[in-house]
Amino acid sequence: GQNIDQPTEMTATEGAIVQINCTYQTSGFNGLFWYQQHAGEAPTFLSYNVLDGLEEKGRFSSFLSRSKGYSYLLLKELQMKDSASYLCAVSDSNYQLIWGAGTKLIIKP
Protein backbone atom coordinates (compact mmCIF):
# COMPACT_ATOMS: atom_id res chain seq x y z
CA GLY A 1 0.00 0.00 0.00
CA GLN A 2 0.89 3.64 -0.15
CA ASN A 3 1.83 5.41 3.03
CA ILE A 4 3.13 8.79 4.10
CA ASP A 5 4.20 9.41 7.69
CA GLN A 6 4.81 12.71 9.44
CA PRO A 7 4.67 13.71 13.11
CA THR A 8 1.23 14.75 14.32
CA GLU A 9 2.33 17.85 16.20
CA MET A 10 5.47 19.87 16.93
CA THR A 11 6.14 22.89 19.11
CA ALA A 12 8.86 25.49 18.55
CA THR A 13 9.83 28.93 19.79
CA GLU A 14 9.55 32.16 17.85
CA GLY A 15 12.87 32.96 16.14
CA ALA A 16 14.10 29.36 16.29
CA ILE A 17 14.52 26.67 13.60
CA VAL A 18 12.29 23.61 13.20
CA GLN A 19 12.58 20.55 10.95
CA ILE A 20 9.46 18.61 9.96
CA ASN A 21 10.14 15.12 8.66
CA CYS A 22 8.20 13.06 6.14
CA THR A 23 8.78 9.43 5.14
CA TYR A 24 6.95 7.79 2.28
CA GLN A 25 6.27 4.47 0.57
CA THR A 26 4.42 4.90 -2.71
CA SER A 27 3.91 3.10 -6.00
CA GLY A 28 6.17 5.23 -8.14
CA PHE A 29 7.55 8.66 -7.46
CA ASN A 30 7.13 11.82 -9.49
CA GLY A 31 8.06 14.36 -6.89
CA LEU A 32 7.28 15.46 -3.36
CA PHE A 33 5.31 18.56 -2.39
CA TRP A 34 5.01 20.51 0.84
CA TYR A 35 1.87 22.55 1.48
CA GLN A 36 0.99 24.90 4.33
CA GLN A 37 -2.53 24.92 5.75
CA HIS A 38 -3.66 27.48 8.32
CA ALA A 39 -6.57 26.42 10.51
CA GLY A 40 -9.86 26.63 8.65
CA GLU A 41 -8.19 27.51 5.36
CA ALA A 42 -7.15 25.78 2.15
CA PRO A 43 -3.69 24.26 1.62
CA THR A 44 -1.22 26.50 -0.21
CA PHE A 45 1.89 25.36 -2.09
CA LEU A 46 5.28 25.77 -0.39
CA SER A 47 7.85 23.65 -2.21
CA TYR A 48 8.54 20.84 -4.65
CA ASN A 49 11.43 18.34 -4.82
CA VAL A 50 12.02 15.69 -7.46
CA LEU A 51 15.82 15.33 -7.29
CA ASP A 52 17.89 14.53 -4.20
CA GLY A 53 19.14 17.49 -2.29
CA LEU A 54 18.11 20.74 -0.74
CA GLU A 55 15.83 23.39 -2.27
CA GLU A 56 15.95 26.75 -0.54
CA LYS A 57 13.27 29.40 -0.76
CA GLY A 58 13.70 32.24 1.69
CA ARG A 59 13.12 31.09 5.27
CA PHE A 60 11.87 27.70 4.07
CA SER A 61 13.99 24.84 2.69
CA SER A 62 13.01 21.34 1.65
CA PHE A 63 15.26 18.29 1.38
CA LEU A 64 14.73 15.00 -0.44
CA SER A 65 16.45 11.61 -0.35
CA ARG A 66 14.72 9.28 -2.81
CA SER A 67 16.79 6.23 -1.80
CA LYS A 68 15.62 6.63 1.80
CA GLY A 69 12.05 7.66 0.97
CA TYR A 70 12.58 10.72 3.16
CA SER A 71 12.05 14.45 3.05
CA TYR A 72 12.12 17.29 5.51
CA LEU A 73 10.89 20.86 5.58
CA LEU A 74 13.14 23.30 7.43
CA LEU A 75 11.69 26.55 8.71
CA LYS A 76 14.11 29.21 9.94
CA GLU A 77 13.58 32.40 11.96
CA LEU A 78 10.15 31.19 13.01
CA GLN A 79 7.36 33.74 13.17
CA MET A 80 4.00 33.46 14.90
CA LYS A 81 2.30 33.40 11.49
CA ASP A 82 4.10 30.10 10.74
CA SER A 83 1.71 28.38 13.16
CA ALA A 84 -0.13 26.05 10.77
CA SER A 85 -0.29 22.47 9.58
CA TYR A 86 2.34 21.34 7.08
CA LEU A 87 1.27 18.68 4.61
CA CYS A 88 3.64 16.35 2.79
CA ALA A 89 2.33 14.89 -0.50
CA VAL A 90 3.94 12.53 -3.00
CA SER A 91 3.06 12.38 -6.70
CA ASP A 92 2.76 8.67 -7.50
CA SER A 93 3.20 6.74 -10.76
CA ASN A 94 -0.18 8.07 -12.01
CA TYR A 95 0.73 11.65 -11.03
CA GLN A 96 -1.89 11.56 -8.31
CA LEU A 97 -0.99 13.16 -4.99
CA ILE A 98 -0.87 10.91 -1.93
CA TRP A 99 -1.18 13.05 1.17
CA GLY A 100 0.19 12.71 4.68
CA ALA A 101 -2.06 13.61 7.60
CA GLY A 102 -0.10 16.79 8.23
CA THR A 103 2.05 18.13 11.07
CA LYS A 104 0.50 20.80 13.26
CA LEU A 105 3.22 23.31 14.17
CA ILE A 106 2.68 25.41 17.28
CA ILE A 107 4.87 28.47 17.70
CA LYS A 108 5.36 29.86 21.21
CA PRO A 109 6.60 33.38 21.94
Contacts with other proteins, residue ranges (CB under 8 A): 4, 8, 30-31, 33, 41-45, 48, 50, 87, 89, 91, 95-102
Q: How far apart are CA 1 and CA 87, in angstroms?
A: 19
Nearer to other proteins, 5 or 77 (CB): 5
Nearer to other proteins, 12 or 85 (CB): 85
Nearer to other proteins, 40 or 109 (CB): 40
3-state SS class at 101: coil
Strand segments, DSSP code E, in the chain are 3-5, 9-13, 18-25, 32-37, 44-49, 53-57, 60-65, 70-75, 84-91, 97-99, 103-108
Minimum distance of other proteins from residue 15's CB (angstroms): 29
Minimum distance of other proteins from residue 91's CB (angstroms): 6
Cα Rg, the chain, nearest whole Å: 13
Minimum distance of other proteins from residue 39's CB (angstroms): 11
Minimum distance of other proteins from residue 16's CB (angstroms): 26
